[in-house]
Amino acid sequence: MTTIPPNNDSADFTEPTIHTEPIFHGKVISLQVDTVKLPDGKTATREIVRHPGAAAVIALLDGKLLVVEQYRKPMDKLQVEIPAGKLDGDEDPMEAARRELEEETGYRAKSLRKLCNFYTSPGFADEELFVYFTEELEPGQMKLDDEEFLNVSAITLEEALELIKEKRISDAKTILAVYAWRLYLLTGEL
Amino acid sequence: MTTIPPNNDSADFTEPTIHTEPIFHGKVISLQVDTVKLPDGKTATREIVRHPGAAAVIALLDGKLLVVEQYRKPMDKLQVEIPAGKLDGDEDPMEAARRELEEETGYRAKSLRKLCNFYTSPGFADEELFVYFTEELEPGQMKLDDEEFLNVSAITLEEALELIKEKRISDAKTILAVYAWRLYLLTGEL
């Protein structure tokens, strides 16, 4: 990398924890507030959400992307997203991806390929999302959780781009999936 | 969209709030637990993080991407990311993007173009991130917050792809930025 001055190349930016205050422990997330020591010796607080991580699948069925439409309470609206779900305990992300795909869409992946993994909100959460890709699908068994209600669809790239414009697709993983799909169609590579 | 049976086309998936339990109100985020009514009449709880939203910039300086390396407490590691920061109150996202770019990198955008906006973690948070693009930069004034310590760099696409492999780039907005940049170089469009 070309570092641009002013730089702090030799600086240690880590923020050692002085104290951790547990705030909440829920079904999905936990919240804690850490008091940390800054590089300049001062202290600061960091609000940190702990999340078990999640897995998602870019699944192409006859060249169309499998998506689910579901209600998202934090935004109070329906969202069209690629199939995804959180990891169960120590579950392997690829197994979680395989399971969520089949449970939510009724299609089973004959093979899965890792595309990428990323932190969704590095400023306040440790949630890591693992994204997989498959074009090899076979009929499986849909099996929704008790609290899960959704519609399954298969969409073309043009429909995906239109759904982004309409804000019916508006989450990081699905927009990233559509970008990756476009790159795949343009270059043949993921 | 081609809806795949079984479908619930006529179903109302919304989850009306029965009760909201405020848990925490912090500097950056708030946490509440909502009890909601599900489509089948049962109740469930939803853990919801409220966040003011954030803005980020894909800024190309002589064909290289401006990035900042900073420590992220939730993951306890250094991360290379595009410049970004949370919205101050009712701040316009484009103004926030302009401000964060100059404060973190010392470069001012002569123009900014909206690329996309997305929810980072639709399952548990309402954080929305607005992403802008610029290739028109001029020297400005770096001005870090009291609690902000970072290095600024300009990287090539090849370096960005290598940093993704090394997991030094591993957050949603920056990976999405690199995908968008690749698409821009391939197609001339954003």
User: CA A3: distance to chain centroid?
Assistant: 30
CA–CA separation, A93 and B151 (whole Å)? 32
The confidence score (pLDDT) of residue B146 equals: 86
pLDDT given for residue B7 in this prediction: 47
Question: Amino acid identity of B8?
Answer: N
Distance from CA of A34 to the nearest CA of B (A): 9
| Active site (catalytic) residues of B | 148
The two structure tokens encoding residue B59: 């800024």
Q: Which of B9, B64, B182 sits opposite A2 (nearest CB)?
A: B64
Active-site pick, A47, A95, A136, A148: A148
Structure token pair of residue A121:
């909100």
Q: pTM of the prediction?
A: 0.94
Instruction: Reply yes or no: is the peptide bond before residue B6 cis, omega within 30 of 0.
Output: yes
- Contact between A39 and B149 under an 8 Å Cβ cutoff? The reply is yes
Task: Output the pLDDT for position B18.
Answer: 98
Asked whether B11 and A149 are in contact (CB, 8 A), the reply is: yes
* DSSP H or E stretch at residue A135: none
Q: What is the pLDDT of residue B58?
A: 98
Task: Tell me which residue in A7, A34, A173 faces B151 most closely, judged by beta carbons.
Answer: A7
Distance from CA of B98 to the nearest CA of A (A): 19
Class of domain B54-187: alpha beta
Q: Could you read off the pLDDT of B95-127 as tens digits, one per residue? A: 999 999 999 999 999 999 999 999 999 999 999
Q: Do B13 and A153 touch (CB under 8 A)?
A: no
Report the candidate in A34, A61, A13 with the shortest Cα–Cα distance to residue A124.
Answer: A34
What is the pLDDT at residue A12? 84
Q: Which of A117, A115, A126 is nearest to A59 (CA)?
A: A115
ipTM of the complex: 0.94
Domain limits of chain B? 17-50, 54-187
Instruction: Tell if the CB–CB gap between B39 and A164 is shorter than 8 Å.
Output: no
Determine, for residues A182 and B183 on separate chains, whether the beta-carbon distance falls below 8 Å.
yes
Would you call A28 and B47 a contact, using CB atoms and an 8 Å cutoff?
yes
Residue type at A27 in one-letter notation:
K
Residue from the list A31, A34, A172 with its beta carbon closest to the beta carbon of B73: A34
Q: Which residues of B touch A176 (CB under 8 A)?
A: 172, 175-176, 179
pLDDT at residue A11 tops 90 = no
Contact A172 B4 (CB under 8 A): no
Kindly state the average pLDDT of the residues A90-115: 97
CA-based R_g, chain B, Å: 20
Predicted confidence (pLDDT) per residue in B145-169, tens digit:
888 899 999 999 999 999 999 999 9
The pLDDT score that the predictor gives to residue A7 is 47
Query: What pLDDT shows up at residue B147?
Result: 87
Q: What angle do CA A54, B20, B120 make, to 5 degrees?
A: 30
CA–CA distance, A56 with A54 (Å, rounded to integer): 7
DSSP notation for B82-97 = -SEEE--TT--HHHHH
Mean of pLDDT values over A55-80: 97
Confidence of residue B2 (pLDDT cuts 50, 70, 90): low
Closest to B140 measured CA to CA, from B89, B71, B66: B66
Q: State the nearest Cα–Cα gap between A98 and chain B, in angstroms.
A: 19
